[in-house]
Amino acid sequence: MEFITEKDRIYATDAAGNVVAEVDFPTADGVSTIDHTFVDPSLRGEGIAGKLVKLAADKILSEGNKIAARCSYAVAWFKRHPEYPVDCSGPVACRIDRRRKNHNSQDSKS
């Protein structure tokens, strides 16, 4: 799989040009925050998300920036790769499953 690198994003597309894998890492004040990873379900289990996070981390460090992670996958990846200096102290961003039924507000009241 060939990855395309942009300023704050690394991604791959299929033959039709659809994004099938990506990692986003916006940068502010010398800190690049990995806040989103995505791998198409058809490609899961092939280690692609890990490759994306590693590519992002290497790019961030090569540019002299610090790494922060808010994406739950990236936070877990960095825990398994302590050789990368990273700040995972902030809130972890989670993907919301929009298909889930809304909870009745009455149910959550005490």
Q: Which domains does the chain have, with CATH numbers?
A: 4-87 (3.40.630.30)
Counting beta carbons within 10 angstroms of the beta carbon of residue 92, is it exposed (0 to 12), middle (13 to 18) or buried (19 or more)?
middle
103: its two tokens: 């909870």
Per-residue pLDDT at 92 = 53
Residues lower than pLDDT 70 in the chain:
88-110
**pLDDT score of 86:** 81
Q: Which amino acid is at 104?
A: N
User: What is the Cα–Cα distance from 106 to 59, expressed in whole angstroms?
Assistant: 48
In one-letter notation, the amino acid at residue 20 is V
The per-residue pLDDT for range 88-102, each reduced to its tens digit, is 665 554 443 333 333
| Predicted pLDDT of residue 42 | 92
